[in-house]
């Protein structure tokens, strides 16, 4: 059974002390999925104090890349979680509140209250806000691309709906976000198929991606524009992503970065090497790379695909009582290698965002098997830093 190195324990003790200082209020649900919905009008929770600057991710990575977290409205309402986010990260992504279905159920009708809280929180804590996302086949209202008969809309109507949606959303947040995940998960997982057959593709055609980027640039010209996807570190999907970047550039369409979600599995021995190769491949196309949804799954699973619709039944749940030290150490080494790759090419990776803050609120407790106990992030369910937190700080502390 492995144990954390003394240096990691020292860093962890500082972080525990710091969290105690910023934890205002009583017990909270820690932002777990299925908790009580947040009051969109409530003021964002704020920390009472900040930890030692040398013990935060945002300070350790400063000047090299942003370090971010995806947070839910429940997380912002929890003083402990909100305090941790404000102290450790300088980039913020809303888990769901910017997605099309969260903002609009009917054409021309938008509710921005919940999303606006993220703007307020980011501004209050000197954080950069990322807009996630403008066009996705999941969590999108049917009216965008389908008629009442559930069949694809005529191309002209679907294009108008897409433009109207992007104008409304990117226009509302113009100047308030650093960048947009313009199109999310449009590339097919099938080996011999290029683009996923989404409602947007069926209604508009292959050029819906280029159109979405054009509309986003026109609506918010100061924001960076990203294409975001999972598993695009794998060679087949990497080549499709390179093809997409080249096609957009050949049309004169602006694309600033490829978003690599990086939902990794601890048992994937080749993952870091594939990440390294993919960062190099995307950089060669003249775009930056953003790691957008990072986590490291420690549980056994059959597949490697992070498609939210690809649920599995059954499956082992070996760590219900906690993560064994040896597994925690292996996860720490995985994270350390990943950040070594990020630092390998200065200026190429401009952001690393974790998909969640602590293990208890991770989507991986319900994916790909519902109801399991996963441990994919840097903080455990009690908001105590894990060996992976110290490992990342150790890498970032290197000259």
Tens-place pLDDT, residues 256-302: 999 999 999 999 999 999 999 999 999 999 999 999 999 999 998 77
Is the residue at 122 inside a domain?
yes
Q: How many residues does the chain have?
A: 399
Cβ-based neighbours of 72, under 8 Å, separated by 6 or more = 31, 33, 38, 94, 95, 96, 97, 361
Q: Which residues of the chain register pLDDT less than 50?
A: 1-54, 311
Percent of the chain with pLDDT over 90: 82
Q: What is the pLDDT of residue 305?
A: 53
Residue 113 sits in which domain range? Answer: 6-35+56-302+323-396
Is the residue at 28 inside a domain?
yes
Question: For the chain, how far is it from start to end, CA to CA, in angstroms?
Answer: 31
Of the candidates 247, 293, 312, 329, the residue annotated as catalytic is: 293
Q: Are 211 and 186 in contact (CB under 8 A)?
A: no
Is the residue at 50 inside a domain?
no
Is the residue at 48 inside a domain?
no
What is the tally of helices (H) and strands (E) in the chain? 13, 9
Is the residue at 188 inside a domain?
yes
Active site residue 293: yes
Q: Are 81 and 125 in contact (CB under 8 A)?
A: no
How many folded domains does the chain comprise?
1
Q: Per DSSP, what are the bridge partners of residue 132? A: 181
For residue 210, which of 218, 129, 100, 287 has the smallest C-alpha distance?
218
Model confidence pLDDT, tens digit, residues 155-192: 999 999 999 999 999 999 999 999 999 999 999 999 99
Q: Are 28 and 81 in contact (CB under 8 A)?
A: yes
Euclidean distance between CA atoms 206 and 194, whole angstroms: 10
Is the residue at 82 inside a domain?
yes
Q: What is the pLDDT of residue 313?
A: 61
Cβ-based neighbours of 190, under 8 Å, separated by 6 or more = none
Q: Are 258 and 241 in contact (CB under 8 A)?
A: yes
Q: Find the CATH number of the domain harbouring 173.
A: 3.20.20.80
Euclidean distance between CA atoms 244 and 388, whole angstroms: 34
Q: What is the pLDDT of residue 27?
A: 28
Euclidean distance between CA atoms 322 and 143, whole angstroms: 44
The residue to which tokens 């096609």 are assigned: 247
Is the residue at 134 inside a domain?
yes
Torsion on CA atoms 63, 66, 67, 68, rounded to nearest 10: 160
Is the residue at 231 inside a domain?
yes
């Amino acid at each position: 059974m492995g144990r954390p190195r003394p240096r990691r324990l020292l860093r962890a003790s500082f972080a525990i002390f710091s969290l105690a200082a910023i934890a205002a209020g009583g017990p909270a649900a820690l932002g777990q999925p299925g908790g009580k919905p947040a009051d969109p009008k409530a003021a964002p929770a704020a920390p009472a104090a900040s930890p030692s600057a040398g013990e935060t991710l945002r300070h350790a990575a400063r000047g090299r890349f942003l370090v971010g977290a995806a947070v839910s409205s429940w997380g912002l309402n929890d003083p402990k979680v909100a305090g941790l986010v404000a102290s450790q990260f300088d980039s913020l992504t809303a888990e769901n509140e910017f997605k099309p279905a969260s903002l609009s159920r009917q054409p021309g009708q938008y509710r921005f209250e919940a999303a606006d809280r993220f703007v307020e929180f980011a501004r209050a804590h000197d954080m950069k806000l990322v807009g996630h996302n403008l066009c996705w086949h999941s969590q999108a209202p049917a009216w965008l691309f389908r008629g009442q008969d559930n069949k694809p809309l005529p191309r002209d109507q679907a294009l108008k709906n897409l433009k109207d949606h992007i104008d409304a959303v990117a226009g509302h947040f113009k100047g308030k976000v650093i960048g947009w995940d313009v199109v999310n998960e449009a590339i097919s997982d099938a080996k011999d198929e290029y683009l996923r057959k989404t409602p947007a593709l069926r209604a508009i055609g292959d050029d819906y991606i280029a159109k979405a980027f054009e509309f986003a640039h026109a609506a918010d010209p100061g924001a960076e524009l990203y294409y975001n996807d999972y598993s695009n570190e794998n060679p087949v999907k990497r080549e499709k992503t390179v093809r997409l970047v080249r096609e957009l550039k050949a049309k004169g369409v602006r694309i600033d970065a490829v978003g690599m979600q990086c939902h990794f599995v601890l048992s994937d021995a080749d993952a870091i090497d594939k990440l390294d190769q993919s960062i190099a491949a995307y950089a060669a196309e003249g775009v930056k790379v953003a790691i957008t949804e990072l986590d490291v799954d420690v549980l056994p699973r059959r597949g490697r695909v992070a498609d939210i619709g690809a649920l599995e039944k059954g499956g082992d749940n070996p760590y219900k009582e906690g993560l064994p030290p040896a597994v925690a150490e292996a996860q720490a080494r995985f994270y350390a290698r990943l950040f070594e790759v990020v630092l390998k090419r200065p200026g190429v990776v401009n952001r690393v965002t974790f998909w969640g803050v602590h293990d208890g609120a991770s989507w991986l407790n319900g994916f790909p098997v519902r109801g399991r106990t996963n441990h994919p992030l840097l903080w455990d369910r009690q908001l105590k830093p894990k060996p992976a937190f110290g490992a990342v700080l150790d890498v970032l502390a290197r000259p």
